[in-house]
Amino acid sequence: MLHSHRLELFACRASEDFARKVIEHLNVLRNEDEKELHLGQIEVTPFSDGEFQPKFTESVRGASVYIIQSTIPPADNLMELLLTIDAAKRASADKVIAVIPYFGWARQDRKDRPRVAIGAKLVANLLRAAGADRVMACDLHADQIQGFFDIPLDHIYASKVFIPYIKSRGIENLAIAAPDMGGAKRANTYAKALDASVIICHKTRERANVVGSITAIGEVEGKNIIIVDDMIDTAGTLCKAAEVLINKGAASVRACATHGIFSSQAIQRLHDSVISEIFITDTIPHPELKDDPKIKIVSMTEVFAKIIHKVYNYESISSDFEF
């Protein structure tokens, strides 16, 4: 297909390794008559007061510019993405697509207490105001966040890689568990695909990041259980849920989560827990876990490359929407 604009791909500093792998997969997918892609260069100038200014070191005039950046803490990563989008627009890019493997601030998706912000909606507005024409994100904390955007959003699901990976492990007598009531839909979807039973954990919270109590609903005795979730933050809920399941007679407990945030003492907490294995993706960089015996990283880069390739070539991506 002929294009009036070329494809250019860049990465902000938090997702450079992820972007390089995406480029490798894109070069495999490209047509013979298309030139080999490279990761474009962005120069970030720091100021003494902590400000910084991104600058494209090559022309993006008339191009479809894909900018990859996970908006993990600190807020500088979000700000760097917004500034880079703005720079692309001001440099006369034809289209700017924000590729956000991990969409931060997504847990602030509703007003669940008086006088609080809805951070996910604010970030959606900021991305549009900066000049983004389209957004790609992986496993948003809540599906309704898609409705916060007034521009197209491609919601990519990690089940696309996790379900084949779990099948390849050949785990017998399998059950899928949701760590809380909010994860019941995700757990049910995985269970159907894996022909497994479903267990729902019900938790109460004393306050944010602090779990009160957990109870498990479903057949646990003798099952090899995989707890599925969209993220692991402090790992408090996950470790407590695993302990409850083991105490109720589970043969083993594993965990599968898209985004490994791993704040506070999460990694040590996971290593000390009854969980035998943890599967995460590379949406958040963790080079220190490359050879970790307990935490396995499954890459989402090929899935993102396929979506980018299809969007650029005006192809349908409906077949890629596996929940």
Catalytic sites, residue numbers: 203
Question: Strands 210-217, 197-207: parallel, antiparallel or unpaired by DSSP?
Answer: antiparallel
% helix, strand, coil for the chain, step of 5: 35, 25, 40
- Cα–Cα dist 266/249, whole Å: 25
CA 173/CA 30 separation, integer angstroms: 42
Please state at what angle helix 119-130 crosses helix 76-90, rounded to 10 degrees: 30
Encoded amino acid at 143, one letter: D
Burial of residue 230 (number of CB atoms within 10 Å: 0-12, 13-18, 19+) = buried
298, 281 Cβ separation under 8 angstroms = yes
